[in-house]
Every structure is written in C-alpha cells, then in structure tokens.
C-alpha cells in the first residue's frame, strides 16, 4: 500500500469559499504530485466533479449556497460520483459536526488549522484505498469474463466454474467489508485525534499553571464523549467482522453446523448493508425466532445472497424503490425459505429458462447467466433441497425447500 505509484497523478478536487485556503491546499497537494482543481461553492463543485471525476474531494463545511454537508449528500446519490472518497477540511470541530459528516457519506474529517503532514497522510491513505478498490473491481470483472470464456471453450468443468464464481463472490464481499469498515474506523481516528489535541492542551495548561476547574471539567466531558464514540464504533466494526466471518468462512466449509436462522439471516443483511445503503430498496426479514437447523451454512448463504442480488439487479427499474422480503417457515422436517420482491416480474418466455445455464437478460451488461444455474445446483447437491420460481407483473418469488437436518 506504500507504493507511490498508486497515488501519484491522482486528481483531487478542493472545495472552499476562501481563496487563501484554496491556495494553501493547492500548494500542499501539488507538492505531493497530485492534479488539483477547485471550486468555491457546493453547486459548482458538483458540476466540476461530474465532468472532472476526481479521485478524491476535500470539502469545506461553511460555504455560500448549499453547505458542505448538503454538497456531500448530493454527491453520494449520484451513480458516477458516490464512490469518490470525501474528506471534510473545516474549522468546525464539534463532535456533532463530525458525526454529521460521516452520516452524509464522508470518509474522513480534518480540522483547521491544517497540519501539513496529517493532511498528506490522510489524503494518501484514502487515495490508496480508492485505487485498491478500483483494482479489486477490475479483477472481479476479469474473473467473470474469464469464467465465460473458459466455460464456452469447455476448458473447465462445472465444479471448477462454481468454485471460481464463489471466489468472485468472496471478492465482492471483501470489498463491501472494506468499504463499510472505513466509516467506524474513520470516526474512531477522528475522535482519537480530538482526544490527543485536548490532552496536549490540558498538559500545556498544567505546565503553565493556567489549568482552571472549568477547563478540567470540559476536558473530562470531551474525553468521556470521545471515548464513547471510539468504543461504540469499534464495537460496530467488531460486529461487522464477526458477521463477515460467520458467512464467508462458512462458504469454504462443507461440514454441517447448527444455525439459529433469524440470526443467520441478519448476519447476511449486515454484510450486504454497504450495497443497500446506496440503493432505494428495502429488505425485511419475516422469520420466527425459534427456527434452528443443521445444514451447510456456506452453501445456504451463497444461495440467499445470490437470490437477493438477483432481485436487486433485475426486479426494479432505475430510480424506483422496491421491497425484498426474506421469509421462512418450518413445516414438518422441512424449511421453506422465500425471497420475494415487488418488482416488475419475469415474463413467461424467460421464466421457463430462469435456471438454465448461460441464460441471462443482462448479457449486454456482462451477465454470465450462471448465477441462478449455480444456485439451483447448490440447493440440490449441497443442501439436499429444491428451488422454484413464481412470477407475475406484481413481483417475483423464489422458494427454496430444504431439510431442517441435512444428512
């Protein structure tokens, strides 16, 4: 990650309404080898970003017209811009402002006056992460294209192809985890930086005999507040990693294990949260709390994640919101799982081929036509069950029936 080739020549958009600040930031960034453009108001920044497509944005809060928070929010809903990392560079150091910055989509927060080394380090880190994510996406795309070529040439058999699909799926989940972890870790870093600054200030006051009771009480309040912020965000990061481990590690373990189904479904939604955050759709779970089963957790997670992704890709028109419901019922010795959407439905001419190898309605967008074919294969061969699909103009429902205890 320390390879300078990852960041040299990167494009940075600086947004600040004060020319002196723009001059300082431009001087610092150009000295690090970055290509810099600038804007002095939010609306103009969005226009420039849409054309310039920067690798990173440095954004002030207080500006004429729309402020930095609204500018960030608008950028994050634009498909071409939402993955660009945004760092706030501002004199507003209140905890509420910092939290709001992360809530609207910022990846980091630097307070003025600007510390040259700190700014450069944070910019370089986030540019490196951005570049690595781009490389990851390119590799995933190449892997998928390679899968198509190899299968059509009959070079690999179905088992190897399924394993390759699983690796691509794993790469996507790792990318989602990396992206999601950046927010709690960024908030924790900022809170720790605030603690460090306050500790230095209180130390200075002590050494100069200027420490008053009010200053000490304020220091203790700020320390407690930032400690709570760090603790809660690190706990969230740990929870996210644990969910990831339960789902992903299981994909490479063919042994059966006991699952509490409602917890298992919530773990799956947890690792899909980064993708869902930028989509207008909702996913809900309709599952009793008392269902447990013995099955291959990894195979089941791969089936459910594929069915959810299939609905997100195919069910809804652009710029429309929809709902996906994961339902579960235990009947006798079987588990009945459904993944249903209220989208456009599947035409009869496509429905009869939905599980065929190579069948896809998105071939022009790089679809391999293997997703549902592999899902059916996993349900039958790994989970000992059956899958079916029903559809109408009001939506589509996939139904998976598997034994509660896999022999």
Amino acid 160: pLDDT: 63
> Domains in the chain: how many in total?
3
pLDDT digits (tens, 9 = 90+) for 123-156: 988 888 888 888 888 878 887 787 777 666 654 5
Amino acid 386: pLDDT: 96
User: Does 166 lie in the same domain as 220?
Assistant: yes
Domain boundary residue, one of 231, 247, 263: 247
User: Does 369 lie in the same domain as 268?
Assistant: yes
pLDDT digits (tens, 9 = 90+) for 192-215: 887 888 888 888 888 888 888 888
Does 312 reside within a domain? Answer: yes
3-state secondary structure of 105: coil
Reported as a pLDDT band with limits 50, 70 and 90, residue 363 is very low
Q: When comparing pLDDT for 391 and 360, which is higher? A: 391
User: Does 183 lie in the same domain as 100?
Assistant: no
With beta carbons less than 8 A apart as the criterion, state whether 261 and 295 touch: no
Residues of the domain holding 186: 156-247
Residue with tokens 């009480």: 217
DSSP for residue 10 = -
Contacts of 122 (CB under 8 A, 6+ apart): 87, 108, 110
Does 371 reside within a domain? Answer: yes
Q: Give the residue-averaged pLDDT of 75-87.
A: 92
Q: Kind of pairing, strands 323-331 and 334-341?
A: antiparallel
Q: Which helix (H) or strand (E) holds 21?
A: helix 19-31
Encoded tokens for 225 = 């507040």
Does 135 reside within a domain? Answer: no
With beta carbons less than 8 A apart as the criterion, state whether 36 and 14 touch: yes
Does 149 reside within a domain? Answer: no
Does 364 reside within a domain? Answer: yes
Residue 330 has pLDDT above 90, yes or no: yes
Residue with tokens 């995933």: 140
User: Does 11 lie in the same domain as 93?
Assistant: yes
Q: Which of 2-11, 156-165, 208-217, 373-382 has the lowest mean pLDDT?
A: 156-165
Does 127 reside within a domain? Answer: no
Q: When comparing pLDDT for 386 and 302, which is higher? A: 386
Amino acid 387: pLDDT: 96
Residue with tokens 């407690």: 224
Amino acid 171: pLDDT: 65
Reported as a pLDDT band with limits 50, 70 and 90, residue 368 is very low
CATH of the domain at 37: 3.40.50.2300
Does 69 reside within a domain? Answer: yes
Amino acid 356: pLDDT: 80
Domain boundary residue, one of 76, 96, 121: 121
Amino acid 15: pLDDT: 96
Does 104 reside within a domain? Answer: yes
Amino acid 227: pLDDT: 81
Share of the chain above pLDDT 70, in %: 82
The whole model's pTM is what? Answer: 0.49
């Amino acid at each position: 990650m320390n390879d300078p080739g990852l960041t040299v020549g990167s494009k940075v958009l600086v947004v600040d309404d004060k020319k002196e600040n723009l001059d300082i930031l431009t001087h610092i960034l150009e000295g690090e080898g970055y290509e810099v453009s600038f804007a002095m108001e939010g609306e103009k920044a969005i226009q420039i970003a849409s054309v310039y497509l920067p690798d990173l944005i440095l954004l002030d809060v207080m500006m004429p017209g729309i402020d930095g928070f609204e500018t960030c929010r608008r950028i994050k809903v634009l498909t071409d811009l939402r993955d660009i990392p945004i760092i706030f560079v501002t004199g507003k150091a209140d905890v509420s402002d910092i939290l709001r910055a992360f809530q609207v989509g910022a990846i980091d927060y630097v307070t003025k006056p600007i510390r040259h080394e700190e700014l450069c380090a944070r910019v370089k880190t986030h540019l490196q992460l951005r570049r690595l994510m781009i490389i990851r996406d390119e590799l995933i795309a190449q892997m998928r294209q390679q899968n198509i070529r190899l299968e059509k040439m009959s070079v690999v058999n179905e088992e190897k192809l399924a394993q390759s699909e699983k690796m691509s799926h794993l790469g996507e989940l790792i990318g989602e985890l990396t992206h999601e972890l950046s927010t709690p870790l960024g908030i924790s870093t900022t809170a720790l930086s605030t603690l460090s600054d306050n500790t230095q200030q209180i130390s200075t006051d002590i050494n100069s005999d200027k420490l008053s009771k009010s200053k000490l009480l304020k220091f203790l309040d700020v320390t407690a507040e930032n400690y709570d912020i760090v603790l809660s965000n690190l706990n969230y990061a740990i929870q996210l990693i644990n969910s990831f481990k339960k789902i992903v590690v299981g994909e490479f373990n063919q042994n059966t294990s006991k699952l509490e189904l409602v917890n298992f479904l919530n773990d799956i939604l947890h690792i899909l949260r980064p993708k869902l955050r930028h989509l207008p759709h909702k996913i809900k779970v309709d599952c009793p709390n008392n269902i447990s089963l013995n099955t291959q957790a990894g195979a089941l997670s791969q089936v459910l994640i594929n069915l959810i992704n299939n609905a997100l890709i195919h069910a809804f028109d652009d710029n429309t919101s929809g709902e996906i419901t994961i339902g579960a019922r235990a009947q006798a010795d079987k588990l009945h799982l459904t993944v249903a959407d209220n989208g456009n439905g599947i035409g009869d001419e496509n429905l009869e081929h939905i599980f065929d190898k190579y069948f896809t309605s998105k071939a022009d967008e790089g679809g391999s036509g293997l997703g549902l074919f592999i899902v059916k294969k996993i349900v039958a061969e790994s989970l000992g069950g059956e899958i079916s699909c029903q559809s109408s103009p009001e939506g589509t429902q996939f139904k998976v029936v598997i034994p509660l205890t896999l022999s």
